[in-house]
Amino acid sequence: MSNSRDPVWRFLLPSLVFVGVFSLYPILESFRLSFYRMILTLPWLGQKFVAWENYRDLITDPVALGSLTTSMIFVIGTTPIEVLLGLAMALVLNESFRGRGWLRAIVLIPWAVPTVVSSQMWRFIFNDRYGFFNFLLFGNATQFYWAPLAEPGLALMSIMTADIWKTSSFAGLIILAGLQGIPGELYEAAGIDGAGPWQKFRYVTLPMIKPALLLALLFRTIDALKVFDLVFVMTQGGPADTTNVLQFYGYKKTFAEGMIGYGSAIAVTVFLVSLLLSILYIRMLGSGLLRKEKPA
């Protein structure tokens, strides 16, 4: 099929150059740097090979371990809720009713809002003196008002709330696509067999959208592990490191403290955790999904 006048590589070369230089090389370089000790902004001090020392420091660093736990709590606490809310949205949007177009447009708004904007928005809603959240809980009794973003137990939950608001609709869109792929005959056949609405949902809808549900869960999980903007704006990792997720800790070590070797060890850990989760999910999905999306 190739044509001697314009060979394939000419079409692929530009993308290969960018991907190679700005994605592939940096990942390999992160692996390499994680075995060195060097200061980001003072490269002339040289890099010293320290073998596994960064990783040894990492597993004995209580902040790093806390950070891993925080990230895990964040992933486990947000993604199932996002998928469930997304499922609810998708089920409603899959019906035909007046104003459906409007609802679909409204649901897209949180997705379109820049994360930084939604972070400031939720920071305002959770404000300790005049935030709407406090008013909802305590009304005019300002003496009881909380400072959710300054309370160790509540700060992470506040950030999780903001994440759920922002991203449930993305999960919803993927699930909606799954719902729309179910042939109507299946419901007719189930109806003839005497299935009620719940049975139709349980035995037709749910099995048919399982791949979409898992896909939504996969994308949300991978994204939740990357959470950064919300933490940066709302809490800066505090109070007392309780919202110090992996990506933020890696950023702090690498760019605020300049410890690029140690920061790279954190980066490699985040990378491995997300790789592990991706493989796990893809195995759960079976290869069916990937086969479907594979080009001819």
Partner 1 sequence: MKRITFAASVVAIGALTLLPFLWFMLTSWKTASEISAIPPVLLPSFHWDNYRSAVEKYGVFHYIANSAIVAGSTTLISILIASLAGFALARFRLCWARFYLMLLLALSMFPQIAIAGPVWRLLNFLDWLNSYQGIVAAYISLSLPFAIWVLTTFFQELPYDIEEAALIDGCSRWQALRLIVFPLAAPGVFTAAILVFIHVWNEFFFALIILTNPALQTLPVGIALFPGEYTMPWGEIAAASTIATLPLVALTLIFQRRIVQGLSAGAVKG
Question: Restricting to residues 137-166, which ones interact with partner 1 according to CB under 8 A?
Answer: 139-140, 142, 165
Site string for partner 1, 92-131 (x = CB under 8 A): x--x-x-x-xxxxxxxxxxxxxxxxxxxxxx-xx-x-xx-
- Phi then psi for 194, rounded to 5 degrees? 90, 20
Question: Least distance (Å) from partner 1 to the CB of residue 281?
Answer: 10
2: contact with partner 1 by CB under 8 A = yes
46: contact with partner 1 by CB under 8 A = no
Strand partners, 39: 259
Q: Which of residues 162-191 bind partner 1 (CB under 8 A)?
A: 165, 167, 169-170, 173-174, 176-177
Q: Which of residues 75-94 bind partner 1 (CB under 8 A)?
A: 88-89, 92
244: contact with partner 1 by CB under 8 A = no
Among 11-19, 53-61, 76-84, 200-208, the segment contacting partner 1 (CB under 8 A): 11-19
Among 82, 159, 160, 229, binds partner 1 (CB under 8 A): 229
Question: Least distance (Å) from partner 1 to the CB of residue 148?
Answer: 15
Alpha-carbon distance 251 to 21, whole Å?
21
